Chain A
Amino acid sequence: MLGRTANGLYWMFRYIERAENGARLIDAGLRMSLTRSEASEDDWDGVLQSAGVREIYDEVHEKLTSIDAIDFLLRDRANPSSVMSCIEAGRHNARMVRTALTRETWEATNECYLEMKAMLSKKARPADMPEIIDTIKRRAGLIRGAFHGTMLRNEIFNFSRIGTFIERADNTARILDVKYYVLLPAVAAVGSSMDNVQWESILRSVSAHRAYGWVYDVELRPANIADFLISNGRMPRSLAYCYEKIASNLGYLEREYGERHAAHETADRTLASLRSQSIKEIMDQGLHEYLEEFISHNNRLGQEISDGYRFN
């Protein structure tokens, strides 16, 4: 396969994942402002930070309002990580690698773009938000479904999956990092309604508020939340799960190509530490430091994959 094609697939799936994650973040933000007696703009500050676009927001807007924040996260082209920017970039990459995609996967991607473009052509009214969020998730689901149902399990599949999980790991780590302080045992005034809202919002941002209850307890506990999102290999958005997938897809490439790169070492090492470290050890070591290091290693892995497989 062409290095440029591998690059295009990797980014196509990173962007689609990012678009979907963006929709989830907005959803969690909306939910949080509903549960509050007084609407707090701080909530949106946290959402913008989780999306990694707080600074760009300030370049475009003078003050933080929920209306502006939602629009910025959803459809502002000035925000390269807005849902619409991501869908556009994902579709642009898909067009570039069209020959590597099944017709179903391409069409699902193209239709996602066409529908969202029409839907987001105007500023969204608050009343439209549920439908918009739902459409993004549904469209992303259709792309995923077409991809899983029709694509050959070959190198094309592997590069696409790697893109998805590098992006997802980055996203989960960021969400945790922005809110790390509410998970610290020392700060946590356990049981206060304020914390419950914050914790639930973390879980909602990764669509895990229901699953949490099945795996742990009904009661939200910071250490359990951190465990769920970092170490639990059954949770599809946890760091451990993402790295299982990254390592196994890199493993397929290694066997097929008969070649091992720096990326393989990095992924295997990260996976091993995710498997062996308990959440207590991580918390003791410092959650924030741990996540910061994880995010930077995750970025490095992306670069190593690009180098090893001649993306550019």
Chain B
Amino acid sequence: MVKNKGTTPLAFDEMMNADSSPRQPYSTYHDWYASQDRNRLIAKSKEAENIFRKTGITFAVYGHADSSEKLIPFDLIPRIISGREWRKLAQGIEQRVIALNAFLDDIYHKQEIIRAGRIPRELIEKNEAFLPQMIGFRPPGGVYTHIVGTDIVRTGEDQFYVLEDNARTPSGVSYMLENRETMMQMFPELFHQNRVRPVENYPYLLRQSLSSLAPPGCSGKPRVAVLTPGIYNSAYYEHAFLADQMGVELVEGSDLRVIDGKVKMRTTRGYEAIDVLYRRVDDDFLDPLTFRPDSALGIPGIMDVYRAGNITIANAPGTGISDDKAIYSYMPEIVEFYTGRKPLLENVPTWRCSEPQSLKYVLEHLEELVVKEVHGSGGYGMLVGPTATRKERAVFAEKLKSRPTNYIAQPTLSLSTVPILVNKGIAPRHVDLRPYVLVSDKVQIIPGGLTRVALKAGSLVVNSSQGGGTKDTWVLED
């Protein structure tokens, strides 16, 4: 029998029922696991680490001296989602992504949602993520968020919440692909026994999706390129990986120039035009003539080319306004306003600290709440109330009081757990899920995604920058 060591009593475990029988989606896997020699699995686990190191699947953690390249720990027990669970998730995600695009189009045009009084005007117009340069401009195909990575957490059999919408430049998709590749290399038999839906065609779908949104003036086969801040960026591996898998150029700002109203890249044959730019550079750095003048990462004048309809930028500049954490709390209204239906996926209840009543509540209940910076990401600058020390909470309370608009707070959800392999067998750890969504004239959700797992027992922080790991994520055909 498979035993979970040191269970977190209140969390919902996705593999094991309370009576130590496996949950249905895991039943085939569970039998397989029970027949395995543990030492062999631990050896396989080391082998996986070697594969990752050899391939150079690394990321950089900012602010660490000797950390230029780190591995994200990979756990070889897959996270398994049934077809039925997935269909429900996919419908909810699709609804949400459609609403996000409609919201962006509205915000940069008629602003009906503001006029209808559903969202306060200042929340939009005073927001740094709102780009006045986008007002009145409609990107090719009307698509703002070409690639979305919706963060989802689970707390029970049928309880799923959207934690974040990640509509700017979601990262991690290379891990989804490499994790699958590694699993298939190490345990081919598992893929005979389980009907796992494929994720491998993501790069193909991405290229197809990007190409289909080339600007109207583009004749012939659109030229796509991935724009990276460069080799020192934390996600450089992913940028190179995606460019490679799509068979397109990986460019840096210094390769690009605006010539004759087109964005062109410096090739060994001279300057050649780009039609679609999948940029992994933040809005601020995109165009020093329009945004940060000190940016060396961007392309002077690209915004003019964009507004003249001569290049597609994915995701569109200014999409950050839709996944801002302050806007997040309004997502249920946003979904309903644009789709005319109740949201299929729930939002996590959120207190906006900018509202005095909420701030008061948050300060009184810090030990129960997770407090996040409105513009933060990657788990930096957040407080996890229940695990923080009294002193940490006191320090954070001061920060909250001095800049309340900078924070939101949410209850600490008891995230579901999936077992990881440890020396003594398996042990449950909290997980989240980031499926990847491609938007063109249709919405395509890749059946799978990135499962991030907190490696420390009881920890709720899954971010790789904070010591989290990843798992292969299976969506079963059923």
Q: Which residues of B contact A114 (CB under 8 A)?
A: 53-54
The complex places the Cα of A155 from the Cα of B265 at a distance, in Å, of 17
The complex places the Cα of A6 from the Cα of B267 at a distance, in Å, of 9
Closest to A111 in B: B54
Overall SS of chain B's interface: mixed
Residue interface bits B252-274, CB-to-A below 8 A is 1, else 0: 10110000000001111110000
From A99, A110, A259, contact of B56 by CB (8 A): A110
B371 within 8 A of A: no
For the complex formed, measure the closest distance between the CB of B184 and the CB atoms of chain A, giving whole angstroms: 15
Whether B240 pairs with A4 at a CB distance below 8 angstroms is no
B231 within 8 A of A: yes
Whether B54 pairs with A4 at a CB distance below 8 angstroms is no
A123 within 8 A of B: no
The complex places the Cα of A310 from the Cα of B54 at a distance, in Å, of 32
A294 within 8 A of B: no
The complex places the Cα of A96 from the Cα of B269 at a distance, in Å, of 20
Residue interface bits A150-193, CB-to-B below 8 A is 1, else 0: 00000100010000000000000000000000000000000000
The complex places the Cα of A155 from the Cα of B269 at a distance, in Å, of 11
Whether B231 pairs with A2 at a CB distance below 8 angstroms is no
Q: How many residue-residue contacts, CB under 8 A, span A and B?
A: 56
Q: Which residues of B contact A3 (CB under 8 A)?
A: 255, 266-268
Whether B54 pairs with A107 at a CB distance below 8 angstroms is yes
From B249, B252, B270, contact of A310 by CB (8 A): B270
A204 within 8 A of B: no
Whether B269 pairs with A259 at a CB distance below 8 angstroms is yes
Q: Knowing A99-B244, A257-B269, A259-B269, say if A2 contacts B54 (CB, 8 Å).
A: no
B185 within 8 A of A: no
Q: Knowing A99-B240, A155-B268, say if A2 contacts B255 (CB, 8 Å).
A: yes
The complex places the Cα of A216 from the Cα of B181 at a distance, in Å, of 54
Among A98, A111, A259, which residue has the most Cβ atoms of chain B within 10 A? A98
B36 within 8 A of A: no
For the complex formed, measure the closest distance between the CB of B80 and the CB atoms of chain A, giving whole angstroms: 29
Q: Which residues of B contact A6 (CB under 8 A)?
A: 268
The complex places the Cα of A107 from the Cα of B52 at a distance, in Å, of 11
For the complex formed, measure the closest distance between the CB of B280 and the CB atoms of chain A, giving whole angstroms: 14
The complex places the Cα of A111 from the Cα of B55 at a distance, in Å, of 9
Residue interface bits B291-302, CB-to-A below 8 A is 1, else 0: 000000000000
For the complex formed, measure the closest distance between the CB of B271 and the CB atoms of chain A, giving whole angstroms: 9
Q: Which residues of B contact A253 (CB under 8 A)?
A: 268
The complex places the Cα of A99 from the Cα of B252 at a distance, in Å, of 13
B152 within 8 A of A: no
For the complex formed, measure the closest distance between the CB of B410 and the CB atoms of chain A, giving whole angstroms: 38
- Of residues 82 to 124 in A, which have CB atoms within 8 Å of B's CB atoms? 92, 95-96, 98-99, 103, 106-107, 110-111, 114
Whether B255 pairs with A4 at a CB distance below 8 angstroms is yes
A127 within 8 A of B: no
B250 within 8 A of A: yes
The complex places the Cα of A11 from the Cα of B243 at a distance, in Å, of 21
Among A6, A107, A257, A310, which residue has the most Cβ atoms of chain B within 10 A? A310
Whether B252 pairs with A4 at a CB distance below 8 angstroms is yes
Whether A110 pairs with B54 at a CB distance below 8 angstroms is yes
A309 within 8 A of B: yes
For the complex formed, measure the closest distance between the CB of B108 and the CB atoms of chain A, giving whole angstroms: 33
Among B244, B255, B268, B269, which residue has the most Cβ atoms of chain A within 10 A? B268
Q: Which residues of A contact B236 (CB under 8 A)?
A: 95
Q: Which residues of A contact B153 (CB under 8 A)?
A: none
The complex places the Cα of A263 from the Cα of B328 at a distance, in Å, of 58
Closest to A159 in B: B268
Whether A310 pairs with B53 at a CB distance below 8 angstroms is no
Whether B268 pairs with A98 at a CB distance below 8 angstroms is no
A1 within 8 A of B: yes
B251 within 8 A of A: yes
For the complex formed, measure the closest distance between the CB of B46 and the CB atoms of chain A, giving whole angstroms: 15
From B53, B56, B240, B267, contact of A2 by CB (8 A): B267
Whether B268 pairs with A257 at a CB distance below 8 angstroms is yes
The complex places the Cα of A1 from the Cα of B243 at a distance, in Å, of 13
Whether A98 pairs with B251 at a CB distance below 8 angstroms is no
Closest to B271 in A: A310
Whether B231 pairs with A310 at a CB distance below 8 angstroms is no
Whether B266 pairs with A99 at a CB distance below 8 angstroms is no
The complex places the Cα of A95 from the Cα of B241 at a distance, in Å, of 11
Whether A92 pairs with B231 at a CB distance below 8 angstroms is yes
Nearest 3 CB-CB pairs, A to B?
A309-B268, A99-B244, A98-B240
**6 residue pairs from A and B, CB less than 8 Å apart:** A1-B268, A2-B251, A3-B255, A95-B56, A106-B56, A110-B56
16 more contacts with CB within 8 A, not counting A4-B254, A95-B56, A99-B249, are A2-B266, A2-B268, A3-B266, A3-B268, A95-B231, A95-B240, A98-B240, A99-B243, A99-B244, A99-B250, A107-B55, A110-B56, A111-B54, A257-B269, A310-B267, A310-B270
